[in-house]
Amino acid sequence: MKAKSKVSTTATVTKTINTVTETSKTVNKIIIPEGMTKKQAAEDLMNQWNNEEQFQQFQIMLDGWDWKDGLRAFRNVIEDKFGWLKGGEAGWFTPPPSEITITTGYKNGEPILESAFYGPCRFPVFEDAEGLIGVSGGHATCSIRAKKKFSLQINTFFKEVEQYIQNNSIYRNKPVIVTYDEDNDRLDLNITEIHGNDRIILNEDEYLVIDNFVIGQLNEPGKRTYLFSGPYGNGKSETAMNIAVEALKREISFFYLKDTRAFNKLLVFAKKYEPCIVFCEDIDEITTGEDRDANINQILNTIDGIETKGRNITTIFTTNHEDRINPALRRPGRIDLIVNFQNPNNVTKERILRLYLEQLKGHESVDYELVVNQMDDTSGATVAEIAKRAVRLAQQHDNEITTDRVLACIKSMAYQIQFMKGSVTDVNPLKKSLETLRDFMTLGVEG
């Protein structure tokens, strides 16, 4: 999708002179229209020259693109087109623009850094015209005060910047963490690095659904919406990260939204990066209740296709409280697939334990059937914590594991498991006093 950049120019109103002139390295001549005297031609050319020498303000805003992306585009096009040296080197700018560092990716765990211009500068190619590269409303801007005779070159420069950012955005085919700047009502984007987590073990039926109906359809065009539901600690977010790794291999961008309130704003931005995945956790935070407010209607319009019709955008929502999701969102056609991540069954519990314990001496003698039968129904994260405790305990005994040591770790977690499942008891003393007073007064009335 083409960026909706804003370009504007301002100048004193003057009649435009259109006398055609030609230049030649071998012929010295001026072509005068038939019926025009040399004096008239000279006056015409002088008027035309005066018109072209007037100063005009040229401006562009890369609307809809992230400001870091835009500043980088300005610098790269400027250096490629005009041969500028890096800001600060003598002989090119007066004064030199400031430089900021932008992360454009990661390699071997280290950020890839590029610099970008920011601030006042001069354009030597436009007779040292004054310029300003900055940020407004979260978007990169560039303004140039130059003579009118450079109009064509400057507008061509602006168009090349637009084309560059469309083809070379730093966020394309990258994993991006997205947060919401509430004070400025804008998205903040930061490229990150994602690695798959092979220690996340799901129940077999969950694997089958993810492999066949989510990862298996990444290359298929179209708009899809998935909901990952289920109790805490069973791998919903980690599975989404594993999906992201597979998506990036297929050159699919991945946006991880940290604040559900900015979901619709991110969807508008993501259109530039299709095919892409938008991952949004705890969707129940903005779709709670029976009634439909303006925010829910906007989300429904997006999911229904009004905002994303014909797009290649996959949305993955998660929730730990599917009962809180507005009924309108639950209807068929709005969510294409629901994957319910349940607590691990005994087979999965054993697989989790073996993943951690098989590095230890004596692991062949562990009675896994006995061990898993001693566990309460609990999350995969809790089973993993039991396994980690068993590893630490074995390290205290010459790196050797036994069935009894695993059982001891289960017992050490037993009360905590019940504690996590328990309901919250309100111990607010003021509230308790008011409730007691209310009960006393009620008894007095009844008496």
Question: Do 208 and 271 fall within a single domain?
Answer: yes
- pLDDT tens string 355-384: 999 999 999 999 999 999 999 899 999 999
Given 321, 340, 359, the domain boundary residue is: 340
Residue 304, domain CATH: 3.40.50.300
CB of 126 closer than 8 Å to CB of 147: yes
Number of structural domains (the chain) is 3
As a whole number of Å, the end-to-end CA separation of the chain is 75
Give residue 408's identity as a one-letter amino acid code. A
Q: What is the DSSP string of 311-327?
A: --EEEEEEES-GGGB-H
Judgement on whether residues 221 and 323 belong to the same structural domain of the protein: yes
Residues 63 and 96 in one domain: yes
Looking at the structure, tell me whether residues 198 and 131 fall in a common domain.
no
Domain assignment of residue 426, yes or no: no
Indicate if 200 and 332 belong to the same structural domain: yes
Give 159's pLDDT tier (boundaries 50, 70, 90). Answer: very high
Q: Which residues pair with 135 in a beta bridge?
A: 140
Check whether residue 359 and residue 396 sit in a common domain: yes
382 falls within a domain: yes
Q: How many other CB atoms sit within 10 Å of the CB of residue 152?
A: 9
At 271, give phi and psi (nearest 5°): -55, -30
| Residue whose tokens read 């709670």 | 288
Q: What is the tens place of the pLDDT at every residue in 281-323?
A: 988 776 665 666 666 677 777 666 555 566 889 999 999 988 8
Cα 375 to Cα 301: distance, rounded to the nearest angstrom: 45
DSSP code string of 64-132: TS-HHHHHHHHHHHHHHHH-PPPTT-TTT-SSPPEEEEEEEEEETTEEEEEEEEEEEEEEGGGTSEEEE
The CATH number given to whatever domain includes residue 403 is: 1.10.8.60
Average pLDDT, the chain: 84
Would you say residue 379 lies in a domain?
A: yes
Q: Is residue 84 part of a domain?
A: yes
- Based on the fold, state whether residues 310 and 378 are members of the same structural domain: no
| Max mean pLDDT range (117-121, 317-321, 430-434) | 317-321
d(CA 94, CA 414): 71
The most distant pair of C-alpha atoms in the chain lies apart, rounded to whole Å, by 119
Its domain, for residue 101, covers 6-22+35-168
Task: Give start and end residues of each alpha helix (H) in 169-293.
Answer: 204-213, 236-249, 263-270
Same domain, 195 and 147: no
Contact between 133 and 144 under an 8 Å Cβ cutoff? The reply is: no
pLDDT interval class at 31 (50, 70, 90): confident
CA distance 68 to 192: 15
For helices 403-421 and 380-395, give the axis angle rounded to 10 degrees: 140
pLDDT at 417: 81
* Residue 180 is assigned to a structural domain of this protein: no
Distance CA 261, CA 256 (A): 13
296, 369: one domain: no
Question: H-helix or E-strand containing 168?
Answer: helix 151-168
Structure tokens at 116: 């970008």
Sign of CA dihedral 192, 197, 203, 205: positive
Is it the case that residue 447 has pLDDT exceeding 50? no
Please identify, among 309, 340, 371, the residue that sits at the C-terminal boundary of a domain.
340
Highest mean pLDDT among 7-16, 260-269, 326-335, 357-366: 357-366
Distance CA 87, CA 286 (A): 45
Q: In angstroms, rounded to a whole number, what is the distance separating the alpha carbons of residues 151 and 113?
A: 33
Closest alpha carbon to 300 in 279, 276, 321, 328: 328
Given a contact cutoff of 8 angstroms between Cβ atoms, the answer to whether 343 and 379 are in contact is yes
Instruction: List pLDDT tens digits, range 100-113.
Output: 999 999 998 899 99
156 and 213 in one domain? no
Does residue 356 fall inside a structural domain?
yes
Residue-wise pLDDT for 195-235, tens only, equals 888 889 999 999 999 999 999 999 999 888 899 999 999 99
Is 181 part of a structural domain of the chain?
no
Same domain, 368 and 249: no
Q: Which of 340, 360, 392 is the last residue of a domain?
A: 340
Question: Residue 69: which of 25, 102, 43 has the closest Cα?
Answer: 102
Q: Are 144 and 225 in a shared domain?
A: no
Residue whose C-alpha is closest to residue 260's, from 339, 341, 318: 318
Three-class SS of 341-381: CCCCCHHHHHHHHHHHHCCCECHHHCCHHHHHHCCCCCCHH
Asked, for residue 434, whether it belongs to a domain, the answer is no
The model's confidence at residue 345, banded by pLDDT at 50, 70 and 90, is very high
- Measured CA to CA, the distance from residue 11 to residue 262 in angstroms comes to 39
